[in-house]
Structure 1
Amino acid sequence: MLIQRYNVEQQGVGQFDGGKITEQKPIGFPGEGSEVKRVGPLFYWAWAKSEHEGYIPLHPHQGFEIITYVISGKAEHGDSLGTRSIVGPGGLQVMQTGSGVSHEEGFVGPDMQGFQIWFEPHLREALRRKPTYQQFEHEEFQIDVHDGVRVKEILGDDSPVALETDVHMWDIHISHPFIYKQHIGKGRSVSILVLEGRGRINETSYEAKEFFVIEASELEEMNIQAEAKTRLIVIEVPTTVTYPLYRK
């Protein structure tokens, strides 16, 4: 098992609306400072924050499957499909951008936090499909609570969300002290963003705002030992895919 650790300085940064929205980017675009450029079909990951309110004007997308997951505050959305929507804490917006769609975004506080994450399906096939928008509220997701751990499955077998990209995603809260265990399959990669907490992933220490990429060459076990109350966003994808990936 290969574990790679990236501190805040090794991640990218960005901003919108004159700095009203700021972003920490575990996986960014060229020139934004992210050492990680992609993990398999996990193409882009931004942790956005807005103390009060910020706005991103109408702009186009094609092909990619784009999610916005809200931690606190709310995300407003409008698009060329005619959608107008608002999603609150724990909710998810999903755009399968297909042949093309334009959207605008509002990040509304106080203290709004959320993630925008892009997944890459087979783009040649995706461009033939009509774009879609879906929204899911916090209560629609499977949440398991046991032994000091709360696991919310955002993407995967028990999620209401269906994507073309092969991806699983969890929002995990670990009470202190507890060890959370999860298997990583052969040929799979796990990306972890630490929202809060302190502890160890196997033998590697972690702190808040750090980012990890873990590759498994065979079926292996990941052990997360929390030394303080911890919250993690975990995404699992295949390390390689059978279709060509966009040259970033």
Structure 2
Amino acid sequence: MSVQIIKKQDQAKGAFDFGRILENKPLGFPHEGGVTKPVSNLFYWAHAWSDTGGLIGEHPHQGFEIMSYVIDGTISHYDNKMAAWKNLSKGDAQLIKSGNGITHAEKLLPGAHIFQIWFDPNLSNSLKIPANYTDVPADSFPVVTENGLTKKVVVGENSPLNLDSEGVEIAEYRMGVGNFSIPTAKDSTYGLYVVSGELQVGGQPALSDDYLISKDADEISFEAQKDVVVFVVKINNEVSYRTYAQSQGIA
């Protein structure tokens, strides 16, 4: 098993609303200086938070599928399809299929933390389709517990959240102290964000906000040294279409 650990300090950073919203980006935009690049149809991944509350003003998106997941607290979302603000709370998720164009805005209430992750569903097709979005409450996602490892399926088997982007699976894992393994698939890459806690992976420490990358492995094994929450995104190494990142020479 080979796992690359991208420490928090080596990831891209961002800010909105005069620093009221801060971002840690395991996979930032190419100009932002992080060490990682888009992989297959996984294009962008940010962890955003606000201690005081802050606003990301209305802005446009096209083509990409944008999934937001509330790690903690509450956010409020506006888009020009609904033309109203709607709250999302801890454990809720939203999928925007931005299609041929949508504008939206987000407020992070004090103490809110979210992931926002972008996937490429084949822009040559998606740019021709009207935009839409789906909100899914936390209690709608399937949860499975086995051998002390609790898995919440955000995208995958029996989840109500469906992406057009090929091969994507997303899960949140929770575990106590002990040794654990997550089964993985060949011909796939896994990105793991340590939301909280402390791991040992291959003799290396992985702390909160560290990002782990595993490719073409049978499983990912680790030792949880504190109660741990890990958010995991699985993608296929190859998809059936030319991705935006490939077309721009940034994959």
What's the TM-score bracket when you normalise by the shorter of the two chains? over 0.9
**Alignment correspondent of 1:171:** 172
Letter in 2 for 1:14: G
Letter in 1 for 2:99: G
Residue aligned with 1:18, SS? helix
**Alignment correspondent of 1:238:** 236
- Judging by fraction of residues, say which structure has more strand: 1
Counterparts of 1:146 and 1:184, CA distance in 2: 16
Counterparts of 1:198 and 1:108, CA distance in 2: 27
Counterparts of 2:50 and 2:159, CA distance in 1: 28
TM-score (norm 1): 0.94
* 1:61-99 CA distance string (max 9 Å, x none): 001000110011111111111243211110011100011
Counterparts of 1:136 and 1:35, CA distance in 2: 32
> Greater shift after overlay, 202-211 or 116-125?
202-211
Letter in 1 for 2:113: Q
* 1:167-195 CA distance string (max 9 Å, x none): 11111111012x22222212100000111
Letter in 1 for 2:45: W
Counterparts of 1:65 and 1:162, CA distance in 2: 10
Query: 1:1-248 maps to which residues of 2 (within 5 A)?
Result: 1-84=1-84, 85-109=86-110, 111-165=111-165, 166-177=167-178, 179-216=179-216, 220-246=218-244, 247=248, 248=250
Residue aligned with 2:225, SS? strand
Instruction: Check whether the contact 1:77–1:83 (CA below 8 A) recurs between aligned residues.
Output: no
Residue aligned with 1:209, SS? coil
Percent identity between the two aligned chains: 30
Offset, 1:145:
2.4
> Greater shift after overlay, 202-211 or 43-52?
202-211
Offset, 1:203:
4.6
Unaligned runs of 5+ in 1: none
Unaligned runs of 5+ in 2: none
| Number of residue equivalences | 244
Counterparts of 1:188 and 1:222, CA distance in 2: 12
Offset, 1:211:
0.6
Residue aligned with 1:162, SS? coil
Offset, 1:202:
4.4
Instruction: Check whether the contact 1:174–1:231 (CA below 8 A) recurs between aligned residues.
Output: yes
Instruction: Check whether the contact 1:176–1:227 (CA below 8 A) recurs between aligned residues.
Output: yes
Counterparts of 2:163 and 2:104, CA distance in 1: 19
Residue aligned with 2:31, SS? coil
Residue aligned with 1:242, SS? coil
Counterparts of 1:50 and 1:64, CA distance in 2: 25
